[in-house]
Amino acid sequence: MVAVLATAFLLFEIVARILAPTLDYDRVHIHALPGIVEEIGDDKRPRVVLLGNSLLMHGADGELLEEEISRATSGPCSVAKITPVGTAIRDWNYLYDTYFTEQNTHPDVVVVGFVAHHIPDQCELKMRRLTRHFCSLRNLWDCLQREGPTFDDKAVGALSHFSALYGDQPEHHWTVNSFTVPEFGRGARKINDILDGEAGRKARKKAEPDSSPALPPRTYQKLARLIETFRKHGVKAYFVPMPQPESWNFDPAAAEVIVDNGATLVDGRAITGMTQADFPDGYHLGETGTIRFTRFLARALADELSAEIALSP
Per-residue pLDDT tens digits for 102-142: 999 999 999 999 999 999 999 999 999 999 999 999 999 99
* C-alpha–C-alpha distance, residues 100 and 121, integer Å: 22
pTM: 0.83
Question: Which stretches of the chain are DSSP H helices?
Answer: 2-19, 25-31, 33-42, 54-59, 62-73, 89-96, 127-133, 137-147, 151-162, 164-167, 169-180, 184-207, 221-232, 252-260, 287-311
Is 80 exceeded by the pLDDT of residue 149?
A: yes
Q: What is the reported pLDDT for 170? A: 54
- What's the CATH number for 32-122+201-311? 3.40.50.1110
* C-alpha–C-alpha distance, residues 240 and 50, integer Å: 10
* Weakest-pLDDT range from 23-32, 136-145, 192-201, 285-294: 192-201
The angle at the Cα of 304, spanning 92 to 73, to the nearest 5 degrees, equals 120
Is 70 exceeded by the pLDDT of residue 254?
A: yes
Q: What is the reported pLDDT for 43? A: 79
* Weakest-pLDDT range from 2-16, 86-100, 248-262: 2-16
Please, are residues 48 and 78 in contact by the beta-carbon 8 Å criterion?
yes
Q: What is the reported pLDDT for 175? A: 46
Is 60 exceeded by the pLDDT of residue 180?
A: no
Decide: helix, strand or coil at residue 76: coil
Average pLDDT (236-251) is 96
Per-residue pLDDT tens digits for 266-297: 999 999 999 999 999 999 999 999 999 999 99
Domain ranges of the chain: 32-122+201-311
Amino acid letter, residue 257: V
CA 277 to chain centre: 24
